Amino acid sequence: MKLSGQEGNQEGNTAEIEPRTGDTSGNGSSFAAASESESLAIERSDSEKPRTSEGSPGSPAPRATGPRTPGGKQRSRRNALKHGIFSGSVLLKGESRAEYNSLFDGLVETFVAEGKLGEVLVEKLATDFWRHRRLLQAEVAEIRKGVDFLQSEQQTRDQREVQEIDRSLSLNCQYGLISKIDNPLILKRCLVLLDGLRALFAQKGFTKIDPAILKDLYGDGVGGSEEYNLYMVYRFWLIVFEISEDKRLAHGFESPEQCKAKVLRAIDKEIRRLKKYQKAQTAMESERLKVEALRRAVPESPALDRLLRYQVNLERSIDRTLTQLERLQRMRLGHPVLPPINLNVSSS
């Protein structure tokens, strides 16, 4: 059967196409071979071009662009702290690295430091604020040193006075312990001696031990108030106690038992007087310590002068750093920057 002219043209066109895109076997493998040949040709042409991608052999080192993703920026935002010039020496032993990091991060977010100079200035500002925090802690320590140990200092002074009085008594001091009862330790010792004297006297009456105890308390018998000078009272009743029975009856002196009772009443009166004084002294000492603690709430010189000088230097450094950061940010934003003002003050 013969084909029409149109159909013949179609067959001719098909015959021209089939050798390029079709396979003589009819399974399509010629198309795959052509695709592979074109891919190899593209790769050869690309290999002839100079390569600048990262990791290519013989290519120059890639230029660092810094982190671009939010996660990368978050991880690298403390690079200035990790590699800063101040981070290795700003902390003392016992100071918190986490607290310093928090301070630094807050300043970085506040000033949005960009570039090496901005990082250094922010880090310098962080170290100044950290030193200012340390200054406040030092001020508190100075105050606590004057307040917390106030009572122990007073006790130490009292103990030294007791030791000095003990040495004086060994040298036969004219006045006994009773003249130093402003010292609470000495007052307490006086009460202990009087309690022992009363127990001994109630049991045995007049003995040779009594004068030795009373001499430690009153010296030669002239110390303390005359109204309550127990040593003088004791010696008077000792004389009456030693009077013979005939003279006692002839002159109507008190009996030995009455003399003993008089001395016991005098000892009890002295003990009551000292205990009353001790109570008043304790209340007065408590008030004195409160007033002294309030007075020491401000450190004394030269500690105060040293702290104030350090504070002034820190505040100046903080002001200078803030000014430099402000100028740097204005320059980056393209804002006008005023020239620095240098003011030199002389006393001449």
For residue 170 the two structure tokens come to 């060994």
State pLDDT tens for residues 58-68. 555 556 566 67
Q: Position of tokens 């060994």?
A: 170
Decide if 143 contacts 292 (C-beta within 8 A): no
Stretch 174-187: mean pLDDT: 84
Decide if 142 contacts 307 (C-beta within 8 A): yes
Q: What Rg do the C-alpha atoms of the chain give, in angstroms?
A: 51
Closest C-alpha to 312, from 90, 131, 85: 131
State pLDDT tens for residues 201-259. 999 999 999 999 998 888 875 544 444 589 999 999 999 999 998 888 888 899 999 99
In three state form, how does the secondary structure of 150-215 look? HHHHHHHHHHHHHHHHHHHHHCCCCCCHHHHCCCHHHHHHHHHHHHHHHHHHHHHCCCCHHHHHHH
Decide if 147 contacts 125 (C-beta within 8 A): no
Residue % of the chain over a pLDDT of 70:
68
- Give dist(CA 299, CA 324) in Å, integer: 34
Decide if 88 contacts 288 (C-beta within 8 A): no
Q: Which is more confidently placed, 135 or 147?
A: 135
State pLDDT tens for residues 304-325. 899 999 999 999 999 999 999 9
Q: Position of tokens 């002219």?
A: 5
**If phi over 0 gives left and psi between -120 and 50 gives alpha, with beta otherwise, what is residue 50?**
beta
Q: Which is more confidently placed, 50 or 159?
A: 159
State pLDDT tens for residues 103-113. 988 998 888 77
- Give dist(CA 269, CA 181) in Å, integer: 16
Terminal CA-to-CA distance of the chain, rounded, Å?
129
In this predicted structure, the answer to whether residue 21 has a pLDDT above a threshold of 50 is: no
- Give dist(CA 167, CA 169) in Å, integer: 5
